[in-house]
Chains A and B, each alone.
Chain A
Amino acid sequence: MGLFQKFRDGLRKTQEKLTTEIKRIVTRGPKLDAESLEELEATLISTDIGVDTAVKIVELTKEAAKQSGQVDVFAIARAEIERELSFGESGSSPTVATDTKSGHAAAWPSVLVKAPQPPTVILLAGVNGTGKTTSTAKLAHLLKEQGNTVLLAACDTFRAAAIEQLKIWGQRVGCEVIAGQYGADSAAIAYDAMEAAINRKVDYLIIDTAGRLHTKKNLMEEMKKMHRSLQKKAPTAPHEVLLVLDSTTGTNALNQARTFHQALGVTGLIVTKLDGTAKGGIVVAIARELKIPVKFIGLGEQVDDLQPFDPKQFAEALFAESPETRRM
């Protein structure tokens, strides 16, 4: 079973509800009245895509209804979401082969930036509990499968047992972990790890960091310091700053993205826990405002539950039409 299938399966139940709901609203009367449109808007909002995008889709629907009697809300929603997620250039998104393991390889170059000279440094950031450590392990696993050498850095020196957690993952995926003591300066560990990565000539260095709420100024400063200490060894590092977002998060994810982006220059998102029923629609609002692409999605707790992101498939998984709703 392909990973994306897992995403779709997770969504199926809620998605069926969504489909039925939209169908009910659209076919209720001969015309889409104000009440129906408001209901449609609310139903769209249930995917966490945000009020703005929902309003936009409703507008487009209204428009289409004016021009012809028949509207396909699903097609409109899909197109709009795909457009937002590929930054307005519909169709130009990196096509990502899925469902086969070898598919990863083809998709690889377009997903992650590679440093001209190794190591490529990947920094993971995010608020507490979003899945940074697990994603670090998953990324390491994926990169190793591609034949790369990978080093991990345990820069969460704050949370209880965070270092042990990453070390266990390191053992599982077969990667060395550079770590310090609890309470140690995370920037110093990042620096040491960078040095180790250069000395050992590894292809990738992945840095796990402590979860922090974006509203804590001092912790965001600490993050910037870590960022700077990497640059001391390699001015272009980190090559990727990946913000890890929990798909169950609502509109606050946009605040998170804004603040982390401002502090670190986020290059991509990892959206986790999409194996549940949450739809992670807030990435649409993030793409719309901040133009940050989603690079990976997390679909479970195992190392191979990570998948490159494809806007088209995402839009389809959100707003698939079931056979009965195809013609409305």
Chain B
Amino acid sequence: MFDSLSEKLQAVFKNLRGYGKLTEKNVADALREVRLALLEADVNYKVAKDFIEKTKQRALGQEVLNSVTPGQQIIKIVHDELVALMGEDERQSADKSAHSKAGNWMMVGLHGCGKTTTCGKLAKLLAKQGRKPLLVACDVYRPAAIDQLETLGKQVQIPVFSVRGETDVVKISKQAMSFAQSQERDLVIFDTAGRLHIDQELVQELVHMKEALAPQEILLVADAATGQEAVNIAEHFDKALTITGIVLTKLDGDARGGAALSMRAVTGKPIKFAGVGEKLDDLEPFYAERMAGRILGMGDVVGLVEKAQETFDAEKAEEMQARIADQSLNLEDFLSQLQQLKKLGPLENLLGMLPGMGKMPDLSVGESQLKRIEAIIQSMTPMERRRPEILNAGRRTRIARGSGTSVAEINDLLKQFNAMKKMMKEMGKMQKAMARKGVLPKMRLGR
């Protein structure tokens, strides 16, 4: 997508060279492409229109710098505007809500948007930060919703309060609050039933809950794949409840997530957390920078780099960078890379963060496969490990015998190795390109 947007922009600007000024005409042409890209990312059409209008004002009359193409410059402007709109420093806002005093949090949203799972994740996250959460089951409608929250509670070792058979959520809420007090739980998270934003009766139920709880946070949980409706949903819930923030879920998928921009734009409320997987650790603060890149189809390069940094041994990474640069990456490096990559989680999740990676060969490696790869590499001579290109048929047969594997497996391994080498090179190039565009000023991988 990034490729196609930047290609389209290149076509728009093919006659414009450095030191020109961005004129009304070429800005308009470029922004038309940007607008389509936003719409394809599910940004609401009205929000997209306002956004383009604002961006136009900023872009007009800017000098085209010599160092970048006009298309890149437009992308940079658009990217910066997106970041500005989606909120400056979400890390702080997530931290702030996490560190605020004792209180009640209400989780609300449509059916199936991920409220219950998010409750479990939040409880875990906040407990890690020293809070003593209590989970309260207020979904009295969906079959087995209470069981679901109780199971999650067990998994994260957080108590769950429920009143089986009671359908009055205000009663449950009040009982939960006194229970919390008696148990000295300092943060009470209320899971509520999914409901349509236009269901007056059920939305009213939430309003009554709110009156009883005086919650500190009312978080609207929304699926990242939400389409044009995002605006209506956010507006309705905000109007009825005055939400304090948004949690965007299922960001581990490939939804472009334009809903984030739409919801933020119409409510002005920050997106506080992002759900990035089914596991109960998979909740993160929301980062506007990443989201901007994602909406524009540029992939979450910043996210990948940060994730890699958390996991990778810095020294090793530096060594590796040097080897990638001088093309001397060998099979021993490959093995240690694979071991590190495994710590990062399933590889397809990582690749999903990168633009243009759809065509990548399948690199998923299982535990048992890793052992076999280890065996293969250990059956090679140091020379073979350093220079895999010398592995002819004879050597491969010997290694297969030595490692108890097959020649086919060795061929596969070498294929994977080459793919990885290429990927590393691509990533290197991409980082450089991004840094040049000034899109990713905070990039700092292993240097």
Q: Do A and B come from one complex?
A: yes
Binding site for B on A (CB under 8 A): 10, 13-14, 42-43, 45-48, 51, 127-131, 158-162, 164-165, 167-169, 172, 213-218, 246, 248-253, 255-256, 273, 275-279, 282, 301
Question: Which one of B230, B348, B362 contacts A215 once the chains associate, using CB atoms below 8 Å?
Answer: B348
9 A-B pairs (CB sep. < 8 Å): A42-B45, A42-B48, A45-B39, A128-B250, A129-B111, A161-B150, A213-B253, A248-B110, A276-B197
Residues of B within 8 A of A (CB): 36, 39-42, 44-46, 48-49, 110-114, 116, 141-152, 155, 196-198, 223-230, 232-233, 250, 252-256, 258-259, 278, 346, 348-349, 352, 362, 364
Query: Known contacts being A42-B45, A129-B112, A255-B254, is A278 close to B227, with CB within 8 Å?
Result: yes
Given the interface contacts A161-B144, A215-B352, does A250 sit within 8 Å of B196 by beta carbon?
Answer: no
Whether A129 contacts B148 in the complex (CB less than 8 A), given A46-B228, A164-B143, A169-B143, comes out as: no
Contacts of B223 in A (CB 8 A): 129, 246, 248-249
- The interface residues of chain B lying within 8 Å CB-to-CB of A278 are 227, 229
Can you add 12 more A-B contacts, CB < 8 Å, to A249-B227, A273-B111, A279-B229? A42-B49, A46-B228, A47-B228, A160-B152, A161-B148, A162-B144, A168-B144, A248-B226, A250-B259, A251-B42, A255-B254, A301-B141
Give the nearest-CB partner of B253 in chain A. A213
A252 and B253 contacting across the interface, CB-CB below 8 Å: yes
Q: How far is the CA of A281 from the CA of B42 in the complex (A)?
A: 12
CB distance from A148 to the nearest CB of B (A): 23
Q: Which has the most chain A C-beta neighbours within 10 Å: B148, B225, B227, B259?
A: B227
List residues of chain A with CB within 8 A of the CB of B256: 251-252
Cα A42 to Cα B114 with chains together (Å): 29
- Interfacial chain A residues near B155, Cβ < 8 Å: 160
Give bound CA distance, A305 to B142, whole Å. Answer: 15
Task: Verify B228–A218 contact, CB threshold 8 A.
Answer: no
Partner pick for B229 among A51, A172, A213, A277, CB 8 A cutoff? A277
Sorted nearest first, the 7 A-B pairs with minimum C-beta distance are: A250-B227, A129-B112, A160-B151, A250-B42, A161-B147, A161-B148, A165-B144
Contact partners of A217 in chain B: CB under 8 A: 346, 348, 362, 364
**A282 near B227: Cβ-Cβ < 8 Å:** yes
Contact B232 A277 (CB under 8 A): yes
* Complex CA–CA separation, A144 to B148 (angstroms): 28
Task: Kindly identify which residue among A130, A160, A161, A215 contacts B252, using a CB–CB cutoff of 8 Å.
Answer: A215
B228 neighbours in A (Cβ, 8 Å)? 45-48, 250
B142 and A46: CB pair below 8 A? Answer: no
Residues of B within 8 A of A14 (CB): 232
| CB contact between B253 and one of A10, A48, A127 (< 8 Å): that residue | A127
What residue in chain A is nearest B153 (Cβ atoms)? A160
With A and B bound together, what is the CA distance between A170 and B228 in angstroms?
35
Contacts of A42 in B (CB 8 A): 39, 45-46, 48-49
Bound CA–CA A162/B145 (angstroms): 9
Residue of A whose beta carbon sits closest to that of B152? A160
Q: B36's closest neighbor in chain A, by CB? A: A51
Cα A192 to Cα B141 with chains together (Å): 31
Docked-complex contact B227 and A214, CB < 8 angstroms: no
Interface pair B198/A10, CB less than 8 Å apart: yes
Chain A: CB-nearest residue to B262: A250
A49 to chain B, nearest CB (A): 10
Chain A's closest residue to B116 (CB) is A160
Q: Smallest Cβ distance from A131 to chain B, in angstroms?
A: 6
Q: Which of chain B's residues has its CB closest to A164's CB?
A: B144
List B contacts of A161 (CB < 8 A): 144-148, 150-151
Please tell me if the beta carbons of B196 and A276 are within 8 angstroms of each other in the complex: yes
Q: Are B111 and A251 in contact (CB under 8 A)?
A: no
Cα–Cα distance between A279 and B142 once the two chains are bound (Å): 23
Contacts of B258 in A (CB 8 A): 250
CA–CA, A279 to B229, complex, Å? 8
Say yes or no: A45 contacts B144, CB within 8 Å. no
Taking the closest CB of chain A, its distance from the CB of B94, in whole angstroms, is 23
A-side contacts of B227, CB under 8 Å: 48, 248-251, 253, 278, 282
Find the B residue at minimum CB distance from A160: B151
Tell me, in angstroms, the Cα distance from A255 to B224 when the chains sit together. Answer: 14
Choose among B149, B198, B352 the residue with the greatest number of A CB atoms under 10 Å from its CB: B198
Q: Which residues of A contact B253 (CB under 8 A)?
A: 127, 213-215, 252
